[in-house]
Amino acid sequence: MSHQQRTTTPGTELGGMFPRVFDTEYVTITRGQGHYVWDADDNRYLDAISGNQNVNIGHGREEIAAAAKEQIETLEYTSSMLFANEPAMEYTAKIAEFTPDGFEHTWLVGSGSEANESAIKMARQYHFERGDERKYKVIGRRRSYHGNTAGAMAVSGFPARKDKMEPLFQNFPKAPSATPYRCPYCDGDGGRECGIERANELERIIQDEGAESVAAFITEPVTGAANAGAYPHDGYFERVREICDEYNVLMIVDEVMAGFGRTGENFGIEHWDVTPDIITSAKGMTGGYTPVGGTMPHRRVVEVFEDLENGFQHGHTYCFNPASAAIGKAVLEYMQARDLVANSRQVGAHLHEELQRLYKYDFVGDIRGKGLMLGIEFVGDRETKAPLEDTGERFQNELFESGLDNSIITYPTGGHVDASKGDLTLLTPPLTIDEADADEIVDRMDATLADVADELGL
Ligand SMILES: Cc1ncc(COP(=O)(O)O)c(C=O)c1O
């Protein structure tokens, strides 16, 4: 079966763009409304991945355009190094009501990478100011993605996205992946005991590195691109918290994708009874309407910075940008007025249940996630969990193209098995969808997987 004809533009002819890949053909997306987008031929696609897991309130919302226009006409920019601005004060105050107890401040930046970069530096300076000047290492976890700036890469455990760049940054130690589906101690159902055992691996790394050199541990609560919807056994995060306390290591939770309602709680970590030291977020904060990220330290971290004459030794031109803050505030108001976090929980549970139907395909190994942050892991052998033979580019391209043929946008990813193999897709639709929309996603995914099976002989 060949793919439907769609108008595409080669990577070499995209105006003045330096495209991600020159040697590829791009479909041009021209407009969006709700959870649909249209291409230049007016083909409509169901956006089952919210743009890039960020368009959480759907496309084309007039309320957000109005808030942006009003703020840009009033004051588009002022330097946060020199002045305060009202939208940033109002937005961060609103975030403080949305975050768990103890989180009252947000350091507002322009992306998820910057939010994590800021968290890494904040953790380092926190220890420095307290006299623990040797603490600088930030331990990450294998099969995690924290961004593309140097610090964020250094803590990411996603070889496919970093291996060519490795000489450029410190490659900090990594704790093993804590995914139940590929747990070395159980078949995925080991529960608390396995959660604690996996967390104890972090303790051994801290001891090995020397606790006096370790500043922080960073983890996604529910993993995004690096492991599509996977999250550890219960007991894992609770034990991580104990270990961090014991060794004076800050616990950073990367909620760039999971935060702001995506998993059916305000923040993913709230699925467990654990309070981290720093939360980072981005994506859904502004719903894709403007680039924003935020680093939210707990009060006990903030206290160290309160008395510093020269403050936090970090900053960007676009920190606390008024236009972005006004948009972020409007997006949060939009979410709250429609109770989208609860909707994510309820419709996510429905979608998760209906997706079970896809287990009829032998190459579907695991369907997982929380709220509307769901993922599918594909395998060559369901029994042994061995990756597909066509693992990587061929399978993932096929999945994406077949998705477009069936009018649905998927997010193929992988490389989580043995650093290069393994295939996944995220399913992360806007938090505004209802159960009928969820059913449409399942129907379209079913048709997509049937085509993939045909094409690859699965
Ligand atoms: C969990 C997580 N952290 C950090 C990032 C980096 O965010 P950005 O692409 O906005 O820099 C991403 C992006 O996909 C992410 O999913």
CA of 112 to the centre of ligand 1 (A): 5
Nearby residues of 5 by Cβ (< 8 Å), 6 or more positions away: none
pLDDT of residue 161: 84
Does a structural domain hold residue 305? Answer: yes
pLDDT of residue 160: 83
CB-count burial class (<10 Å; 0-12, 13-18, 19+) for 358: middle
Same domain, 247 and 353: no
With a 6 Å cutoff on the Cβ, whether 113 touches ligand 1 is: yes
Same domain, 31 and 79: no
With a 6 Å cutoff on the Cβ, whether 87 touches ligand 1 is: no
In 3D, which of 411, 347, 306 has the Cα closest to residue 53? 411
User: Do 226 and 251 meet the contact criterion of CB atoms below 8 Å apart?
Assistant: no
Same domain, 16 and 128: no
With a 6 Å cutoff on the Cβ, whether 255 touches ligand 1 is: no
Q: What is the CATH number of the domain that holds 148?
A: 3.40.640.10
With a 6 Å cutoff on the Cβ, whether 413 touches ligand 1 is: no
With a 6 Å cutoff on the Cβ, whether 46 touches ligand 1 is: no
Burial 220-240 (b: 16+ CB within 10 A, else e): bbbbbbbbbbbbbbbbbbebb
Output the residue whose Cα is nearest ligand 1's atom 6: 147
Indicate the residue among 284, 305, 337 that finishes a domain: 337
Question: How many Cα neighbours within 13 Å face the side chain of 440?
Answer: 16
Same domain, 235 and 374: no
User: Do 77 and 288 meet the contact criterion of CB atoms below 8 Å apart?
Assistant: no
CA of 1 to the centre of ligand 1 (A): 35
Q: How far is CA 72 from the centre of its chain?
A: 29
Same domain, 236 and 318: yes
Does a structural domain hold residue 170? Answer: yes
With a 6 Å cutoff on the Cβ, whether 292 touches ligand 1 is: no
Does a structural domain hold residue 1? Answer: no
pLDDT, tens only, 313-357? 999 999 999 999 999 999 999 999 999 999 999 999 999 999 999
Same domain, 230 and 299: yes
Mutate which of 146, 227, 295, 324 for ligand 1? The one with the most ligand atoms within 8 Å of its CB, which is 146
Same domain, 116 and 180: yes
Same domain, 383 and 436: yes
Global model pTM greater than 0.95: yes
Indicate the residue among 337, 353, 387 that finishes a domain: 337
With a 6 Å cutoff on the Cβ, whether 146 touches ligand 1 is: yes
Same domain, 35 and 172: no
CA of 135 to the centre of ligand 1 (A): 25
Helical packing angle, 191-209 and 236-246, nearest 10°: 30
Same domain, 223 and 317: yes
Q: Rounded to an integer, what distance in angstroms lies between the CA atom of residue 85 and that of residue 57?
A: 26
With a 6 Å cutoff on the Cβ, whether 318 touches ligand 1 is: no
Ligand 1 atom, smallest distance to 258 CA = 1
N-terminal to C-terminal alpha carbon distance within the chain: 14
Same domain, 240 and 373: no
Q: Rounded to an integer, what distance in angstroms lies between the CA atom of residue 152 and that of residue 235?
A: 26
* Long-range contacts, 337-344 (Cβ 8 Å, 24+): 338/432, 340/56, 340/57, 340/261, 340/431, 340/432, 341/261, 341/264, 341/265, 341/266, 341/431, 342/264, 343/431, 343/432, 343/433, 343/434, 344/261, 344/262, 344/263, 344/264, 344/371, 344/372, 344/431
Output the residue whose Cα is nearest ligand 1's atom 13: 147
CA of 113 to the centre of ligand 1 (A): 6
Q: Rounded to an integer, what distance in angstroms lies between the CA atom of residue 335 and that of residue 341?
A: 7
Does a structural domain hold residue 95? Answer: yes
pLDDT of residue 5: 86
Does a structural domain hold residue 3? Answer: no
Ligand 1 atom, smallest distance to 152 CA = 4
CB-count burial class (<10 Å; 0-12, 13-18, 19+) for 5: exposed
Indicate the residue among 321, 337, 353 that finishes a domain: 337
pLDDT of residue 187: 85
Ligand 1 atom, smallest distance to 223 CA = 1
Q: Which domain holds residue 109?
A: 65-337
With a 6 Å cutoff on the Cβ, whether 112 touches ligand 1 is: yes
CA of 356 to the centre of ligand 1 (A): 28
pLDDT of residue 4: 85
Does a structural domain hold residue 2? Answer: no
With a 6 Å cutoff on the Cβ, whether 222 touches ligand 1 is: no
Q: How far is CA 228 from the centre of its chain?
A: 9
- From first to last of its 458 residues, the chain has per-residue pLDDT tens of 678 889 999 999 999 999 999 999 999 999 999 999 999 999 999 999 999 999 999 999 999 999 999 999 999 999 999 999 999 999 999 999 999 999 999 999 999 999 999 999 999 999 999 999 999 999 999 999 999 999 999 999 988 888 899 899 888 999 999 999 999 889 888 899 999 999 999 999 999 999 999 999 999 999 999 999 999 999 999 999 999 999 999 999 999 999 999 999 999 999 999 999 999 999 999 999 999 999 999 999 999 999 999 999 999 999 999 999 999 999 999 999 999 999 999 999 999 999 999 999 999 999 999 999 999 999 999 999 999 999 899 999 999 999 999 999 999 999 999 878 999 999 999 999 999 999 999 999 999 999 999 999 99
With a 6 Å cutoff on the Cβ, whether 254 touches ligand 1 is: yes
pLDDT of residue 1: 61
In 3D, which of 127, 131, 136, 147 has the Cα closest to residue 295? 147
Q: What is the CATH number of the domain that holds 395?
A: 3.90.1150.10
With a 6 Å cutoff on the Cβ, whether 224 touches ligand 1 is: yes
Ligand 1 atom, smallest distance to 283 CA = 10
With a 6 Å cutoff on the Cβ, whether 220 touches ligand 1 is: yes
Same domain, 359 and 280: no
With a 6 Å cutoff on the Cβ, whether 140 touches ligand 1 is: no
Domains: count for the chain: 2
In 3D, which of 343, 199, 354, 182 has the Cα closest to residue 265? 343
Nearby residues of 84 by Cβ (< 8 Å), 6 or more positions away: none
262 sits in the region (left: phi over 0; alpha: psi -120 to 50; else beta) called alpha
Output the residue whose Cα is nearest ligand 1's atom 4: 146
Does a structural domain hold residue 211? Answer: yes
| Six token digits for residue 445 | 């995914």
Burial 8-22 (b: 16+ CB within 10 A, else e): ebebeeeeeeeeeee
